């Protein structure tokens, strides 16, 4: 089983994800990412490699980030310890101080007992698969073992948060004066920096989910639990609610009536705004195959091309980097604005969404109405041979029949799981009843034809 998953190394803290593993992983990272021309140039100039390390507030992050810092310093790397900060802040800071790489200790939207280690290369970019494989291989190989004055130092990154806030504020096309925002920080990494930044941008701010105790991260709050945010928006008569996840690389929203504004709607709003202002490179939006049909239709109406990738923000980012696109993301709220960030940034996304309200004078609901959200139903069919999903003729015929019946009012997507014997059946249709009927019928065919 590979150590790295779709977003770094993740698991139960002090279960499979131990301090020993974190230390060894950090040492291997120093070996692999300490190679190359830039690293050689630093050494030739008598300088040590540098790395930024940060974490979210879950309790296990304290010992895991300490182990990561120890592993790096023992390999001759100077560590800038940024403390509790969002994942996108870590990525930004790596580029901002020209560090050689960085490590974020976080399990994102997972519950508190879990944790994870995300590694970023120079410039604050995520690692390609081949580099992750090299790091995993290096964990069982020789390590760097400098002694004396050659060992690394661990220093507090004192102005890390201030640098990030200044960066976010500098990205805004419009101040947020006069807009009342409720922020749900998921008791996570954004609990300090997000309220500060929205206030500095001029918004009136009400905060929930911003009292992390090490155990309550994502517990009934944040972007995976929007009910409390909707209730707070209604109770306070706010204009909009913004929800982050534990490491604040996601953003979802609710309008003044408590209705959810998902990642697809946020991308639609930003894409049209960016096109109007000449900031949408190639008049193109990059998203995944899971994005709603309504997004595709809305973008076509506004003359915006949509390119789709496999599920996962890393694949969106790869396509954006390949073709220099400026906006992409996922329905889940990972939105990448490459003019300002190298990864999904929930604070940046939320600020620009609210800035569009201020710029246009429109409500969140008016902005979100730019696209019609088609009912989308997902059925997970377990206990089936996922490898045959794309080749079974009966399954293919059933998909074709439903696709023909839906015409341009819906679509079908069969997606084998990457880790389980399971096939996901997704159907979009004009009504929830039609989506359910077709999804259940296709699930039955998949279950019958591909049963193990």
Say how far apart CA 396 and CA 377 lie, in whole Å. Answer: 19
Instruction: Determine whether the annotation assigns residue 159 to a binding site.
Output: no
Evaluate the CA torsion angle 250, 255, 261, 265 in order and state its sign.
Answer: negative
Instruction: Give catalytic residues, as residue numbers.
Output: 108
Is residue 249 marked as binding? Answer: yes
Phi, psi angles (nearest 5°) of residue 339: -65, -25
What are the tokens at 151?
A: 């060992």
Question: Cα(176)–Cα(86) distance, rounded to whole angstroms?
Answer: 22
Residues paired with residue 78 on neighbouring β-strands, in sequence order: 50
CA dihedral angle for residue 438, residue 444, residue 449, residue 452, rounded to 10 degrees: 130
Which residues lie across from 435 on neighbouring strands? none
**DSSP symbols for 3-69:** S-BTTBEEEEBTTTB-HHHHHHHHHHHHHHHT-SHHHHHHHHTT--EEEEEEE-SSTHHHHHHHHHH
The helix (H) or strand (E) run that includes residue 307 is strand 305-309
Tell me which H or E stretch contains 400.
helix 393-406
Give the C-alpha separation, 181 to 166, whole Å: 20
Q: Tell me which residue has tokens 């073992």.
A: 145
The answer to whether 230 touches 258, Cβ cutoff 8 Å, is yes
- Which residue from 89, 112, 114 is spatially nearest to 104, judged by alpha carbons? 89
Rounded to whole angstroms, the Cα distance separating 336 from 331 reads 12
- The CA distances from residue 67 to 22, 26, 63, 117, 350, in Å, are 6, 8, 6, 11, 33
- Is 245:222 a contact under the CB 8 Å cutoff? yes
Report residue 300 as tokens: 């076509």
Tell me the backbone φ, ψ of residue 185, rounded to 5 degrees. Answer: -95, 10
Q: How far apart are CA 322 and CA 28, in angstroms?
A: 28
Provide the H-helix boundaries in 47-182: 60-73, 87-96, 129-138, 160-171
245 is in an annotated binding site: yes
What is the torsion angle, in degrees rounded to the nearest 10, for the CA atoms of residue 53, residue 54, residue 59 and residue 65? 0
Residues of each annotated binding site for Mg(2+) = 108, 245, 247, 249
Q: Which residues are annotated as a binding site?
A: 108, 245, 247, 249
């Amino acid at each position: 089983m590979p150590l790295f998953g779709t977003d770094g190394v993740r698991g139960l803290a002090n279960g499979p994800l131990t301090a020993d593993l974190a230390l060894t992983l950090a040492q291997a990272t120093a070996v692999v990412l300490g190679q190359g021309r830039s690293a050689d140039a630093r050494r030739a100039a008598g300088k040590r490699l540098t790395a930024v390390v940060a974490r979210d507030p879950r309790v296990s992050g304290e010992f895991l980030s300490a182990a990561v810092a120890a592993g790096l310093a023992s390999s001759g790397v100077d560590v800038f310890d940024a403390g509790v900060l969002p994942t996108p802040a870590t990525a930004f800071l790596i580029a901002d101080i020209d560090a050689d790489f960085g490590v974020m200790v976080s399990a994102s939207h997972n519950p508190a007992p879990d944790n994870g280690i995300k590694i970023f290369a120079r410039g604050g970019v995520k690692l390609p698969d081949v580099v992750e494989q090299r790091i995993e291989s290096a964990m069982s190989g020789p390590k760097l073992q400098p002694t004396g004055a050659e060992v690394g130092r661990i220093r507090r990154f004192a102005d890390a948060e201030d640098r990030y806030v200044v960066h976010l504020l500098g990205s805004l096309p419009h101040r947020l004066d006069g807009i009342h925002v409720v922020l749900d920080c998921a008791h996570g990494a954004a609990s300090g920096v997000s309220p500060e930044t929205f206030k500095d941008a001029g918004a009136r701010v009400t905060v929930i989910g911003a009292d992390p105790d090490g155990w309550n991260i994502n517990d009934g709050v944040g972007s995976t639990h929007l009910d409390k945010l909707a209730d707070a928006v209604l109770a306070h008569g706010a204009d909009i609610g913004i929800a982050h996840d534990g490491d604040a690389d996601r953003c979802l929203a609710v309008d003044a009536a408590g209705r959810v504004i998902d990642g697809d709607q946020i991308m639609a709003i930003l894409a049209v705004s960016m096109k109007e202002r000449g900031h949408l490179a190639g008049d193109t939006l990059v998203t995944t195959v899971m994005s709603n049909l309504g997004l595709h239709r809305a973008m076509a109406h506004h003359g915006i091309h949509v390119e789709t990738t496999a599920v996962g923000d890393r694949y969106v980012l790869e396509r954006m980097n390949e073709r220099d696109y400026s906006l992409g993301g996922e329905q889940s709220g990972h939105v990448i604005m490459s003019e300002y960030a190298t990864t999904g940034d929930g604070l940046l996304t939320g600020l620009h969404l609210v800035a569009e309200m201020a710029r246009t004078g429109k409500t969140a609901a008016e902005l979100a109405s730019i696209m019609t959200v088609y009912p989308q139903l997902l059925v997970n069919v377990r206990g089936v041979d996922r490898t045959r999903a794309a080749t079974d003729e009966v399954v293919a015929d059933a998909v074709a029949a439903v696709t023909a019946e839906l015409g341009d009012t819906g679509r079908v997507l069969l997606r084998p799981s990457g880790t389980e014997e399971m096939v996901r059946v997704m159907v979009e249709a004009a009504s929830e009843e039609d989506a359910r009927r077709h999804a259940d019928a296709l699930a039955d065919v998949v279950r019958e034809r591909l049963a193990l």
